[in-house]
Amino acid sequence: MTRVPAISVLSTLLVGGAGSLPAQQDSTRVTWSGEVRVRSEVDARTSGAATDHATLLRTRLGALATLAPTTRAFIQVSDSRAFGEEQNTLTDASADRFDLHQAYLEWSPGAVRVRAGRQELAFADERLIGPVGWANVSRAFDGVRVTWTRPPGTVDLFGAVLDERAALLATGLDPRQNSLAASDRAVVGAWATSKSFDLFLIVDRNATEGAVSEINRSTFGGYVRRTLGALSARGTFAWQAGRQLAVNGQRQDLAAFLASAAATYGFRGALKPAIGIQLDYLSGDDSPGDRRYRAFNTLYATNHQFYGLMDLFLSFPGQTGGLGFLDLMARGSATPRAWTLRADLHQFRLAETGPTGGRTIGVELDLTAARRMTRGFDVQLGYSRFSAGAAGEVAPIGLGPDRLHWGYLQGTMQF
């Protein structure tokens, strides 16, 4: 990051260059940040289809303005694209996915920090809320986060509007034209963090999932982590309760859960070898039309890092037909020279019996290698393979009988 005087920069960036700045802003500083990430992928993840090749580019530029020790503002723009998507090197300059990724005000009086605006949210290991940094277009929330820090931990209160359905802005700020027919979709929550455990509550208001609507859902539970010498362990338990309107018009009570446990043991030696195991269980429902719905929803999670790097399973419960999910993963890693090597082996199963009478979805192998080439410049490459079981070939999974493959080479430069 580079610090530059803000007298010329801030006037252009934040106030559009409309006149000179007041004298009291002479001490304001702007810290610039940026990222350029290029990822080329070879994609054979669709059964019966030819292998595809695509290259993704993500470019970000951010400016953090520090007006006083307690007052800051952050703006970050992001452009996400695939090579060749504009179809013409001269006439198309539309920038279809150029967006304001983050823009917030931050005030930090004492032990409290208030952040209001568009922002990324990430808690614990991102199993329920995370920005999905791997994606070319990652997640941001429009809302407020209040953080209170005092030993031995922190407490976060947050709220965000996910879908504004009766905005005055859309009607020219005329309140007589504002329709109150639909309620906004929103999320609020609390997350308490300490050294060894977290407690959380996440409340969704008026959410929708496909044809299911009027979802008012509370997700609560805990996250624990411990280190004993060379052994580290972590676990998550979350319960979901609430009400929703099913496709058949049935009002349903929600009663679903997620349970996860993981352990890693590191060995001595120059290569720093380590082995690990992880078990994830998401409850399912084999009778989704009755009065109780038991399939767990992973909310706003960064699922890429948990359920296989091929991203065959990103949306729960939709991609498993509400039948739940069981993932048993074994991991091995080592760090020869400046490289970090990792191998993950996943066994995927349905939590409830599928239409074929079986539960075996399949097996996925993920191989990755990463290295920091220079300061701020990282390279990562990987290869993954998936072999479907009986339940994985047919609906609701529907991955087909072919063996699936995927590989990538990625370079990331941050400053």
Q: Which 3 state secondary structure label does DSSP give 341? A: strand
CATH of domain 2-87+96-171+182-414: 2.40.160.100
Q: What is the pLDDT of residues 121-146, one digit of tens each?
A: 999 999 999 999 999 999 999 999 99
State yes or no: pLDDT of 267 exceeds 70.
yes
Averaged pLDDT, 298-305: 97
- At 341-361, the pLDDT tens digits run 999 999 999 999 988 788 999
User: Which range, of 14-23, 219-228, 298-307, averages the lowest pLDDT?
Assistant: 14-23
SS3 264: strand
pLDDT at 38 exceeding the cut of 80: yes
List all residues 6 or more positions away from 354 whose beta carbon is below 8 Å from its beta carbon.
Answer: 321, 323, 391, 394, 396, 397
> Over pLDDT 90: what percentage of the chain?
80
What pTM does this model have? Answer: 0.90
Report the pLDDT value the prediction gives residue 355, as an integer from 0 to 100. Answer: 81
Which whole number is the average pLDDT over 39-45?
A: 98
Distance CA 138, CA 119 (A): 11
Give residue limits of the domains in the chain.
Answer: 2-87+96-171+182-414
Poorest-pLDDT segment among 70-84, 161-175, 254-268? 161-175
The predicted pLDDT at position 17 comes to 39
Residue environment code for 168-202, b if the CB has 16+ CB neighbours within 10 A, otherwise e: eeeeeeeeeeeeeeeeebbbebebbbeeebbebeb
The pLDDT of 246-255, averaged and rounded, is 92
> Residue 11 has what pLDDT?
40
Contact in structure between 333 and 273 (CB atoms under 8 Å): yes
CB 303 within 8 A of CB 133: no
Q: Alpha-carbon distance 161 to 176, whole Å?
A: 22
pLDDT above 90: residue 15 = no
pLDDT of 24 higher than 90: no
CA dihedral of residues 330, 335, 336, 340 (deg, nearest 10): 80
